[in-house]
Chain A
Amino acid sequence: MLKLKNKFSVERDISGCGLCGIINAKKVKTTGEDIKKAISVEHDRGNGLGGGFAVYGNYQDYAELYAFHIMYDNLSAKGNVEEYLKNNFIIEKEEPIPTSKTSKIKDHPYLHRYFMKPKSDRQDKLFHDLGDDDFVVQSVMSINEKYDGAYVFSSGKNMGAFKGVGYPEDIADFYKLDEVEGYMWTAHNRFPTNTPGWWGGAHPFTLLDWSIVHNGEISSYGINKRYLEMYKYNLSLKTDTEVITYIFDLLVRKHGLPIELATTVLAAPFYQNIDKMDNKKKELLTTLRQIYGSALLNGPFAIVFGYSGGMVAMNDRIKLRPLVAATMGDFTYVASEEAAIRAICPSPDLVWSPKAGEPVIVKFEELVAQKGGLIGL
């Protein structure tokens, strides 16, 4: 097994991958069976060196707690990280992440999860007064950078990432996702070409509730990285995709931009198109391009981005990677290939290819009364 600390001296990762996403706007849950079936149609888009899923709504009984998924190379790494966690968090529950012995995934790190909240009297309060979300971000960055052999791959509330080295359908079996229920799922099939596939390098990349699956390459990785580092994001994974997660965190959570505007930062309209807009819109988009020029993503990409409020799927500005969307009742599906959608929804109400740079945004409808659900796992 490749060690969890990524010491590969490459600057970025180029991949030709497969994506899928399922969201129910009324928060009706499905098990992992559907998303597994969809992504397995895109089997040949990957090469077995990375598969993963993000699911939302799966930890209903612990919805107020941060759910950390951590992978460890060895038990001493686990001991070191747990010491940090115990000093800084109230851990309500911890357990191994349920996995099944499969013939396909033989070699894997030790996988553990923790449901917890930051302590109010933790030591860092002596130096600064971070909110809970900020403290969680700082903790994730710190563990991933400083604790050898440990990697936090999920840290949101009522959501989780399940990923590893293997084809996504095998990863789904490994994590027993047929027993997990959620109202939004994303999936990824990886074809790494510039970096070896390693457990931490599989998609989705997550931070707090944000999760990203990505097909393509971020040519602007260098400038995005330097920009994010000014805001204390630590880019330790040396794969381009993680910048997207942190840019969304910065723009939406820290700077308060609406999702719609954040997407125009990532795939900014060309100036020649901005020139044709009415004055108010022109001023807004010119301002965004000027302020957030370093957050612009260049290069070919298709991404599916999940957060607690919904799902966003989008392409780069000249559509250099495939993306198809479909709706059926309250369900919206997105995928690299229409066949992946048809595998689980044979006759959608509507099927379309989103235009370059124009996001498909689906938000959850607010529910008056939410049924108390069973815990997913």
Chain B
Amino acid sequence: MITIDANGMHYRDLNRLIREGIGRGVKKFFLENVNGQYYIGDGIKGDDITININGIPGNDLGVFMDGPTIAVNGNAQDNVGNTMNAGKILIKGDAGDVVGYGMRGGRIYILGNAGYRVGIHMKGYNEQLPVIIIGGKVGSFFAEYMAGGVIVLLGLNDTDDAAGDYFAAGMHGGVIYLRKKIDFSKYSKEVELYEADDNDMAFLKKYLLEYADDFNISFEDIAGKPFYKIVPSSARPYAHLYTSA
């Protein structure tokens, strides 16, 4: 276990210390006074590595990460989990725009809100199943061009506006679960809405239990309502954009 005081440290130095630590066999990292350092945990591997962050991590937290767990005790900036492959990122506060950009595996759990374009270009294949769960609300272009994986929007603060405009625009794979039905006019024409069935709820339970446990909140409180499920109408919505069918 090591503690790193990141006060005034450039991201290159911070990431070098983390990589050197992992090389020496350190499993637990505590980063203090983080403020804006980019790319924390860039490409690191190892399922047993954990990084705790106090402060505001900079953009691209956990980019290309492949196994470790990062826990942030506050807000995060843009591009959390960019192209992440495996592992887990926990955000106790809010996250910025473009969460899980091109994410291809692992989990991102956010207790607060997230910004615009959550899960853009997220993808999944066979056992690679990226999962994002957001406790609060999200901005516009939620799940834009989503190609695979699972995004769960809990809307726990019970505002009317859990999501913005252009919801699931261009979605052509994967599944979105909503704890609260939203204004249907915001749905893109490329998706369909269903009530979640028992199979869905059984699938979700594993992740929601972990989410509740990670943030020390009650599972019953977050799973108590009926969930809704959104899936794309077509895997190739633009196959005939320029040609006749």
A137 CB within 8 Å of chain B: no
Question: Which residues of A are found within 8 Å of B59, using beta-carbon distances?
Answer: 337
B42 CB within 8 Å of chain A: no
* Partner among B38, B77, B140 whose Cβ is within 8 Å of the Cβ of A44: B38
Question: Nearest residue in A to B98 (C-beta to C-beta)?
Answer: A322
Q: Is A338's CB under 8 angstroms from B96's CB? A: yes
Knowing A338-B75, A338-B96 are in contact, say whether A318-B141 is a contact too (CB < 8 A): yes
Q: Is B35's CB under 8 angstroms from A319's CB? A: no
A259 CB within 8 Å of chain B: no
Q: Is B56's CB under 8 angstroms from A339's CB? A: yes
Q: Is B140's CB under 8 angstroms from A318's CB? A: yes
Knowing A319-B97, A337-B59, A339-B77 are in contact, say whether A353-B139 is a contact too (CB < 8 A): yes
* Partner among A41, A273, A356 whose Cβ is within 8 Å of the Cβ of B36: A41
Q: Is B77's CB under 8 angstroms from A337's CB? A: yes
A184 CB within 8 Å of chain B: no
User: Complex formed: what's the CA distance from A187 to B38 in Å?
Assistant: 21
User: Complex formed: what's the CA distance from A328 to B245 in Å?
Assistant: 58
Question: Nearest residue in A to B79 (C-beta to C-beta)?
Answer: A322
Question: Which residues of B are found within 8 Å of A351, using beta-carbon distances?
Answer: 75, 94
Question: Which residues of A are found within 8 Å of B165, using beta-carbon distances?
Answer: 273
Q: Is A339's CB under 8 angstroms from B96's CB? A: no
Question: A329-359 interface mask toward B, CB cutoff 8 Å, 1 = contact, 0 = none?
Answer: 0000000011110110000000101011000
Question: Which residues of B are found within 8 Å of A342, using beta-carbon distances?
Answer: 35-36, 55-56
User: Complex formed: what's the CA distance from A356 to B140 in Å?
Assistant: 9
Q: Which label, helix, strand, loop or mixed, suits the secondary structure of the A interface? A: mixed
User: Complex formed: what's the CA distance from A353 to B11 in Å?
Assistant: 24
Question: Which residues of A are found within 8 Å of B139, using beta-carbon distances?
Answer: 319, 353, 355-356
B115 CB within 8 Å of chain A: yes
B78 CB within 8 Å of chain A: yes
Question: Nearest residue in A to B35 (C-beta to C-beta)?
Answer: A339
Question: Which residues of B are found within 8 Å of A356, using beta-carbon distances?
Answer: 116, 139-140
Tell me the residues in window 49-91 of chain A with beta carbons closer than 8 Å to chain B beta carbons.
Answer: none
B164 CB within 8 Å of chain A: yes
B148 CB within 8 Å of chain A: no
Question: B76 CB to closest chain A CB, in angstroms?
Answer: 9
Question: Which residues of B are found within 8 Å of A338, using beta-carbon distances?
Answer: 36, 56, 75, 77, 96
Q: Is B36's CB under 8 angstroms from A355's CB? A: no
B81 CB within 8 Å of chain A: no
Q: Is A343's CB under 8 angstroms from B35's CB? A: yes
B58 CB within 8 Å of chain A: yes
Question: Which residues of B are found within 8 Å of A322, using beta-carbon distances?
Answer: 77-78, 96-97
User: Complex formed: what's the CA distance from A353 to B140 in Å?
Assistant: 12
Tell me the residues in window 72-86 of chain B with beta carbons closer than 8 Å to chain A beta carbons.
Answer: 75, 77-78
User: Complex formed: what's the CA distance from A42 to B116 in Å?
Assistant: 21
Question: A302 CB to closest chain B CB, in angstroms?
Answer: 11
Question: Which residues of B are found within 8 Å of A273, using beta-carbon distances?
Answer: 165
Question: Nearest residue in A to B36 (C-beta to C-beta)?
Answer: A339
Question: Which residues of B are found within 8 Å of A318, using beta-carbon distances?
Answer: 116, 140-141, 166
User: Complex formed: what's the CA distance from A344 to B164 in Å?
Assistant: 31
Q: Is B35's CB under 8 angstroms from A41's CB? A: yes
Question: A167 CB to closest chain B CB, in angstroms?
Answer: 14
Question: Which residues of A are found within 8 Å of B35, using beta-carbon distances?
Answer: 41, 339, 342-343
Question: Which residues of A are found within 8 Å of B94, using beta-carbon distances?
Answer: 351, 353
Q: Is A339's CB under 8 angstroms from B58's CB? A: yes
Chain B interface residues toward A at CB < 8 A: 11, 35-36, 38, 55-56, 58-59, 75, 77-78, 94, 96-97, 115-116, 139-141, 164-166
- A-B contacts, 14 of them at CB < 8 A, read A41-B35, A44-B11, A44-B38, A319-B140, A337-B59, A337-B77, A338-B56, A338-B75, A338-B77, A338-B96, A342-B36, A343-B36, A353-B139, A356-B139
Chain A interface residues toward B at CB < 8 A: 41-42, 44, 273, 318-319, 322, 324, 337-340, 342-343, 351, 353, 355-356
Nearest 8 A/B pairs, CB to CB: A339-B36, A339-B56, A339-B35, A319-B116, A41-B36, A338-B56, A353-B115, A342-B56
